[in-house]
C-alpha cells in the first residue's frame, strides 16, 4: 500500500451529505412526534414540539419529505448496495466485526454487508410507513366496509416504525461511537486513506485503480 | 361535567381523578314504537346548536347516508320483508352507544380528549383532540366523524350538559311516542325486558334487548323486534373493541417499548465491553502508531 495514510479522500459527495442530513432531521422529527402518539408517557414531546394538534398536522408531511429523500438515496446508492460474494464472506465474520476483531473480518466494498442490511430495512420500512401512514392520515376516507385497512394501517405503521427504530439505534451507535471518523465522513464528506483501507478496502482499491482518488 | 365525575381519561394512566359515585344511566330506544318522525334529529341539532348538514335525497326515509360531524343522531331506515311476505319498516336511532368499554377511548393517543364519566357517558373534548382519527379505528359502531375544517372528531354527548343538571337528553324530550326513554340503566333494562316479553306475545319470538356484552354493555339500549338479526338494523352482531386495536394498545406497545429499551441498553453494554474500533483514521490517532493493515 503506497500513499500517505493521512491523505484525505472524499467518501460522500455534497449532495449525498445534504440528503442524508435532511433525511436524518425528518426521521428524528417523525420519530419524536410518532413516539408521542405511540405512548402517553412520551406525549410531552408533542407538547414541546408545538402541541399535539400541530404535530399531527406536520407528521404526515414530514413523512412525505422523508420518503422522497429515502427514494433519492435508493436511486443514488442502489448499485453500491448490491450484495456481492465478498458480502457473504463478511456476513460469516459478523461476530468478529461485532467484537471489534477487525483483523478477522474480510474486506468490504463501499458499504459493508451490515450497512447494506440497514439500507434495505430502511427502504422497505419506508414503503410500509408510507402506505400505512396514508391510511392513518386519511382514515375518514377509508370506507367502513374496508375497515380492516384501518386496522392494518395502525399495526403496520407501528411495527414498521419499531423496525426502523431498531435499525436507527444501531446505525447511530455505530456511526457516532464505534467507528471513529464515521461522523466526519457523513458530515464533512472526507476520510483518511487509512480509514478507507481499514474499513472499506475493496472500495479503496477500486478508487485507486480507476485513479479516482478525489483527494483534497 | 366536573373533574370529580371522571372515571376514565384517554391516554392517561389510571386512576382517573373522579371520586363521585353515580348510577349508570342509559337511553332506551324501542325500535318497534319509532314512527320515523325525526323529532329527535331536530332536537339534537337544536339543543347542540349544530350547523345544518345538507341532506341527501337517496330515495329513502333517511335524512343522511350516515352520521356526520354536525349530525350526531340519525334514524336509519331499512325495508325488511319477512318470511310471510310481510313488509316492515325498520327504524333504528343511530348514535354513539356510550360503551362501558369504549374502543374510541382506548385508541385515543391525546390525554383527556376522550373521557368517560361515572354515569357511563363517553364524551369527546374537542379542545384536546388532535384529529388523528384513531377513535374512528377503535369504535366498533362507526360513530365518530371527522370534520376536515376543524380537524377534529365529533359525536353524540348523550347531552352530558343536560343530564349533568338532571334533564333528559334533548332527543328523549322531543320523542312523541315514548320510544325513547332516559334513566338509570338498571331500571331501563327492566322496561326493555318487559317490552320484549310483550313483543314475543305479539308474535315476534326473536325480539331481544341489544346491550352487547362484548363492549361491556352500552349506555344506549335498543329493543329490536328481530333481535336475532341486529344486522337488519345496521348493528354489529357481536361488537368488540377490534382485536387489532387491543393488540396495538396492549402487547404490541409493551413489547415495542421493551425492545427499544433493550436496544439502547444493548448498545451501552456493547460499548462498555468492546468500545470503539481499534482501527481508525489518522484524524483520531497520532500517525505511525501500530495498526492492523485492514
Ligand atoms: C412515510 C410517511 C409517513 C406518513 C404519511 C405518516 C403518517 C402518520 C400518521 C397520519 C400518524 C397518526 C398520528 C400522527 O399524525 O402523528 C402516524 C403515527 C405514527 N408515526 Fe408516522 N408517518 C410516516 C412516517 C413515519 C416514520 C418514518 C416514522 C419513524 C419512526 C413514523 C412513526 C410513527 C409512529 C411511532 C406513530 C404512532 C403510531 C402509533 O400510535 O401506533 N412515521 N404516522
Ligand atoms: S359507540 Fe364508538 S364512539 Fe361511542 S363510546 Fe362506543 S366506541 Fe366510543
The CB density around residue A96, as the number of other CB atoms within 10 Å, is 15
Q: Please give chain A's pLDDT, 216 residues, in tens.
A: 456 777 899 999 999 999 999 999 999 999 999 999 999 999 999 999 999 999 999 999 999 999 999 999 999 999 999 999 999 999 999 999 999 999 899 999 999 999 999 999 999 999 999 999 999 999 999 999 999 999 999 999 999 999 999 999 999 999 999 999 999 999 999 999 999 999 999 999 999 887 656 554
Query: What pLDDT score does B56 carry?
Result: 85
Alpha-carbon distances of A174 from A10, A57, A98, A99, B148, rounded to whole Å: 20, 33, 10, 12, 44
Tens-digit pLDDT profile for residues B182-202: 999 999 999 999 999 999 999
Tens-digit pLDDT profile for residues B111-120: 999 999 999 9
Query: What pLDDT score does B287 carry?
Result: 37
Task: Let me know if residue A135 belongs to a domain.
Answer: yes
Number of domains comprising chain A:
1
Q: What is the mean pLDDT of chain B?
A: 93
Q: Per the CB < 8 Å rule, is B263 touching A165? A: yes
Please state which of the ranges B81-85, B160-164, B175-179, B220-224 shows the lowest mean pLDDT: B81-85
Task: Let me know if residue A2 belongs to a domain.
Answer: no
Supply the range of the domain harboring residue A195. 8-209
Residues of chain B numbered 122-151 and touching chain A (CB < 8 Å): 128-134, 136-137, 142, 145-146, 148, 151
Task: Let me know if residue A178 belongs to a domain.
Answer: yes
Which residue pairs from B172-175 have beta carbons closer than 8 angstroms and sit at least 24 positions apart in sequence? B172/B27, B172/B40, B173/B43, B174/B39, B174/B40, B174/B42, B174/B43, B175/B39, B175/B40
Q: Per the CB < 8 Å rule, is B281 touching A194? A: yes
Give the three cell numbers for residue A78: 442502489
Task: Let me know if residue A1 belongs to a domain.
Answer: no
pLDDT band at residue B292 under the 50/70/90 scheme: very low
* Residue A151 with chain B: CB contacts under 8 Å: 137, 242-245
Q: Is there an atom of ligand 2 within 6 Å of B139 CB?
A: yes
Rounded to the nearest whole angstrom, what is the distance from the C-alpha of residue A15 to the centroid of ligand 2?
A: 50
Taking the CA atoms of residue A196, residue A202, residue A203 and residue A205 in that order, the dihedral angle to the nearest 10 degrees is 80
Task: Let me know if residue A131 belongs to a domain.
Answer: yes
pTM, two decimal places = 0.92
Rounded to the nearest whole angstrom, what is the distance from the C-alpha of residue B243 to the centroid of ligand 1?
A: 20
Q: Per the CB < 8 Å rule, is A43 touching B11? A: yes
Task: Let me know if residue A215 belongs to a domain.
Answer: no
| Angle, helices A85-92/A113-137, rounded to nearest 10 degrees | 100
Q: Per the CB < 8 Å rule, is B281 touching A169? A: no
Tens-digit pLDDT profile for residues B12-32: 999 999 999 999 999 999 999
Query: pLDDT > 90: what percent of chain B?
Result: 88
Q: What is the ipTM of this complex?
A: 0.91
| Residue B81 backbone phi and psi in degrees, to 5 | -105, 120
Contact A159, A153 (CB under 8 A): no
Q: Per the CB < 8 Å rule, is A180 touching B12? A: no
SS (H, E, C) B151-218: CEEECCCCCHHHHCCCCCCHHHHHCCCCCEEEEEHHHHHHHHHHHHHHHHHCCCCCCEEECCHHHCCE
Contact B254, B62 (CB under 8 A): no
Task: Let me know if residue A91 belongs to a domain.
Answer: yes
Could you give the CA distance from residue B165 to residue B13 in angstroms, rounded to a whole number? 29
Could you give the CA distance from residue A146 to residue B103 in angstroms, rounded to a whole number? 18
Query: What pLDDT score does B219 carry?
Result: 98
Using CA coordinates, name the residue in chain A closest to B285.
A180
Tens-digit pLDDT profile for residues B249-259: 999 999 999 99
* Residue A162 with chain B: CB contacts under 8 Å: 256, 259-260
- Residue A113: CATH number of its domain: 1.20.950.20
Task: Using the structure block, give the residue that is written with the C-alpha cell 385515543.
Answer: B108
Higher pLDDT: B243 or B283? It is B243
Task: Let me know if residue A52 belongs to a domain.
Answer: yes
B3–A contact, CB cutoff 8 A? no
Give the three cell numbers for residue A154: 395502525
Q: Who among A52, A105, A107 is closest to B130 (CB)?
A: A52
Amino acid at each position: 500500500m503506497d500513499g500517505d495514510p493521512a491523505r484525505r479522500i472524499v467518501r460522500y459527495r455534497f449532495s449525498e451529505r445534504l440528503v442524508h442530513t435532511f433525511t436524518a432531521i425528518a426521521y428524528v422529527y417523525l420519530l419524536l412526534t410518532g413516539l408521542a402518539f405511540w405512548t402517553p408517557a412520551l406525549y410531552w414531546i408533542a407538547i414541546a414540539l408545538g402541541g399535539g394538534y400541530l404535530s399531527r398536522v406536520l407528521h404526515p408531511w414530514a413523512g412525505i419529505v422523508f420518503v422522497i429523500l429515502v427514494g433519492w438515496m435508493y436511486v443514488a446508492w442502489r448499485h453500491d448496495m448490491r450484495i456481492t460474494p465478498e458480502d457473504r464472506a463478511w456476513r460469516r465474520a459478523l461476530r468478529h466485526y461485532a467484537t471489534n476483531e477487525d483483523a478477522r473480518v474480510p474486506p468490504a466494498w463501499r458499504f459493508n454487508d451490515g450497512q447494506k442490511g440497514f439500507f434495505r430495512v430502511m427502504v422497505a420500512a419506508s414503503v410500509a410507513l408510507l402506505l400505512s401512514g396514508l391510511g392513518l392520515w386519511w382514515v375518514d376516507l377509508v370506507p367502513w366496509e374496508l375497515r380492516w385497512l384501518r386496522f392494518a394501517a395502525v399495526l403496520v405503521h407501528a411495527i414498521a416504525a419499531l423496525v426502523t427504530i431498531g435499525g436507527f439505534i444501531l446505525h447511530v451507535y455505530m456511526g457516532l461511537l464505534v467507528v471513529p471518523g464515521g461522523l466526519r465522513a457523513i458530515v464533512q464528506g472526507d476520510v483518511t486513506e487509512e480509514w478507507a483501507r481499514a474499513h472499506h478496502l475493496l472500495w479503496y482499491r477500486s478508487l485507486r485503480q480507476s485513479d479516482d482518488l478525489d483527494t483534497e | 361535567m366536573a373533574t370529580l365525575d371522571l372515571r376514565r381519561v384517554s391516554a392517561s394512566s389510571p386512576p382517573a381523578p373522579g371520586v363521585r359515585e353515580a348510577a349508570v344511566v342509559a337511553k332506551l330506544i324501542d325500535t318497534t314504537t319509532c314512527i320515523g318522525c325525526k323529532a329527535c334529529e331536530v332536537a339534537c341539532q337544536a339543543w347542540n346548536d349544530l350547523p345544518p348538514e345538507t341532506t341527501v335525497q337517496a330515495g329513502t326515509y333517511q335524512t343522511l347516508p350516515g352520521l356526520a360531524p354536525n349530525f350526531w343522531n340519525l334514524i336509519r331506515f331499512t325495508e325488511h320483508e319477512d318470511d310471510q311476505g310481510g313488509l316492515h319498516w325498520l327504524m333504528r336511532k343511530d348514535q354513539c352507544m356510550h360503551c362501558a368499554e369504549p374502543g374510541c377511548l382506548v385508541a385515543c393517543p391525546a390525554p383527556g380528549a376522550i373521557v368517560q364519566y361515572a354515569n357511563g357517558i363517553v364524551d369527546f373534548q374537542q379542545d384536546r383532540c388532535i384529529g388523528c382519527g384513531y377513535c374512528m379505528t377503535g369504535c366498533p359502531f362507526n360513530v365518530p366523524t371527522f370534520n376536515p375544517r376543524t380537524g377534529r372528531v365529533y359525536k353524540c354527548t348523550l347531552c352530558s350538559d343536560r343530564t349533568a343538571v338532571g334533564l333528559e337528553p334533548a332527543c328523549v324530550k322531543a320523542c312523541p311516542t315514548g320510544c325513547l326513554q332516559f334513566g338509570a340503566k338498571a331500571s331501563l333494562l327492566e322496561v326493555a325486558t318487559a317490552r320484549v316479553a310483550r313483543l314475543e306475545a305479539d308474535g315476534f319470538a326473536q325480539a331481544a334487548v341489544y346491550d352487547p356484552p362484548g363492549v361491556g354493555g352500552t349506555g344506549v339500549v335498543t329493543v329490536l323486534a328481530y333481535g336475532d338479526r341486529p344486522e337488519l338494523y345496521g348493528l354489529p352482531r357481536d361488537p368488540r373493541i377490534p382485536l387489532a386495536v387491543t393488540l396495538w394498545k396492549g402487547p404490541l406497545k409493551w413489547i415495542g417499548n421493551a425492545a427499544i429499551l433493550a436496544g439502547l441498553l444493548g448498545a451501552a453494554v456493547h460499548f462498555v465491553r468492546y468500545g470503539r474500533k481499534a482501527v481508525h483514521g489518522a484524524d483520531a490517532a497520532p500517525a505511525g502508531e501500530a495498526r492492523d493493515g485492514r
